[in-house]
Amino acid sequence: MTAVESYLKPEVITQIKRLDLRAQFVVKGFLQGLHASPFQGFSVEFSEHRRYTHGDDPADIDWLVYAKTDKYYVKKFEAETNLTGYLAMDLSKSMGFTYRQELTKFDYSICLAAALCYLMIHQQDPVGLVTFDEKIRHCLPPKSRRSQLANVLSHLSQLKPDGQTNIAQSLGQLAAMLKQRSLVMVFSDFLSESQPVFESLRRLRHGGHDVILFHVLDESEVTFPFDGMVELQDPESEETLVVEAAGFRQDYATQIDTFRSEYQSECQNIGVDYVPLDTSMQFDRALMEYLLSRRSRC
């Protein structure tokens, strides 16, 4: 079995296809809701327009819209109405961790990314891939052809999470790269200083981009299922700490709750979707729950 096939094994394909069948109407509404439209609630016939800007061809002005709004709008071309997605994948060493689950955080993120890539392509929306650790390492340009899913998985399957991370710098680089409004889907454990990350997220939002954070932790990082004396090691700095599990469990639970709550609160303030996950969750069920919750808020 090749590395790519390991992410397209029958049970994974079944989960993705089941998600597609169950979520078809949800996903369609979710993605269409992200397509910019200044006329939502106005009339369906005006759903694909944008404000006239210097440099546009005056021949493209929709005078019927002008008569109703007293403002200049031009009809969008098909290329402009597609939602462009970017899967942004954390390659740092901590993403390669698993305690007792079959999938590492990186593997789990790849399965999530594959499902989202599959769904976007079925909506004929182009999707690309960005991988990062201390900076952006690789970038696959967005495409909507069906072969893009295999291209994305082929690329990811050749990578191994290693080294340290600088999420804030990488997201800042990405914000500078993007030239059109996009949907940025970030997959990371976010085990780094949080405030610089929030600043980079604000920069992405200021650029008009929609952002979804998939905060992927290992099941053991959430539940702390250890007993006795435990040696904890930071996978990136390799610093170690020896603790007595029973005495440390409550403090740890408080810290992890605070960590996730801070992200939940700040993301809400910034206008970023925050999706806390752990590797014990079935990725298709977790994604479905998120899509349903997103749809109910739109």
Same domain, 11 and 49: no
Flag whether 254 is in a domain: no
Same domain, 52 and 184: no
Flag whether 162 is in a domain: yes
Same domain, 25 and 40: no
Same domain, 181 and 292: yes
Task: Give the 3-state secondary structure of residue 285.
Answer: helix
- The pLDDT, as a whole number, for residue 38 is 39
- The pLDDT, as a whole number, for residue 274 is 96
Flag whether 222 is in a domain: no
Same domain, 27 and 155: yes
Which segments within 174-259 are labelled E, that is strand?
182-188, 210-217, 229-233, 240-244
Output the pTM of the full model.
0.78
Range of the domain at 152: 3-33+83-209+279-297
From the list 155, 154, 159, the residue with the least C-alpha distance to 4 is 154
- The pLDDT, as a whole number, for residue 18 is 58
Give me the number of domains the chain comprises. 2
**How many of the other CB atoms lie within 10 Å of CB of 255?**
11
Question: With a cut of 50, which residues of the chain have pLDDT below it?
Answer: 1-2, 21-23, 25, 36-47, 78-79
Same domain, 54 and 107: no
- The pLDDT, as a whole number, for residue 2 is 46
